[in-house]
Amino acid sequence: MRLFSSIPSATLPSSGEQSQGSPVGASTLVLAGALCLSFSAVLVKLAGVDAATTAVARCAIAVVVLAPLAMRERSAQGALSRSGTLWSIAAGAALGIDYAAWTASIYHVGAGISTVLINVQVVVLPALALLVNGERPSRRFVITLPLMLFGISLVGGLWNESLRGPDTFLGVLLGILAGCGYGVYLFITRRGTKEDPGLFVQPLTWATASATVAAVAVSPISGGIQVTGISARSWALLAILAVIGQVFAWLFIHHGSARLPTTTTGGLLLIQPVLALGLSAAVLSEHPTGLQILGAVVVVAGVAIANDLVLRNRIEAP
């Protein structure tokens, strides 16, 4: 089934093609999704709309785009089960909190840094797997956890006196909170996918609708929703954010990750913070300090090592 009539079926494959698709094609889809997510922070800054309104608009506009696609998927492949719907709604609530906190953190610590901070989801996801499913984390993960936390402290400017302040500290906390919501979303989505294999648009639509409600619910914390006074240019950028950063990003990632091991998907998504730092520097002139760059490298390296994505052959060799 072709999800977008304007996009070749090779780009977004059908469920029947997924089982036969090559790892290269699946990896390409996940990388495409990571690239879409990397543009999100830059688009948020360019739009210049407050955090609460941006989070709500991103999800609400995406629902409008996803709804007819979900109806098309339902007609062609059947309806999402009740349990699958409930899992999607629960995942969406976590995603809404993620977006609200992450969007606010962008205005405190910058587009690139906030995208690095959100990668604390790699701590949350294994922790939930351990507590809920009894999946014990690898020794690599336990050993590299302090390294990742140290990298986060560098990214947050905790070791640079000139960068410390109430805004920076709040921005780091918001980024970490967003990472927690992100990790919960990935965990719940992973469990919900098992209920209805082969369905991607309907779960994403329910999750995005739920995220909209959650973002509205928490909006008073960051000043409430302000839809008046937003320029046409800003609305256009919010619409692009919804399509690229929500619809395309997650459809690409969900389609690709369904045919890849979890560690491979996590490794490919590590390109997101690297691209975000580069994009924010090129487009927004947000140039991080040397320590912050070092922290970003430490975080990405720690995540890669923890997930057996580097030095695998050397360590696993007999």
> Which tens digit of pLDDT belongs to each residue from 63-119?
999 999 999 999 999 999 999 999 999 999 999 999 888 888 887 877 667 777 787
Q: Report pLDDT for 97.
A: 92
State percent of the chain over pLDDT 70: 83
Query: What is the model's pTM?
Result: 0.79
CA distances from 48 to 53, 162, 215, 306 (A): 10, 25, 18, 36
Residues 42, 172, 213, 188: what is their CA dihedral angle, to the nearest 10 degrees?
Answer: 100
Q: Report pLDDT for 110.
A: 74
Could you identify the residue written with the tokens 């760059």? Answer: 293
pLDDT at 222 over 60: yes
Question: In which band, very low, low, confident or very high, does the pLDDT at 308 lie, cut at 50, 70 and 90?
Answer: low
Q: Report pLDDT for 105.
A: 86
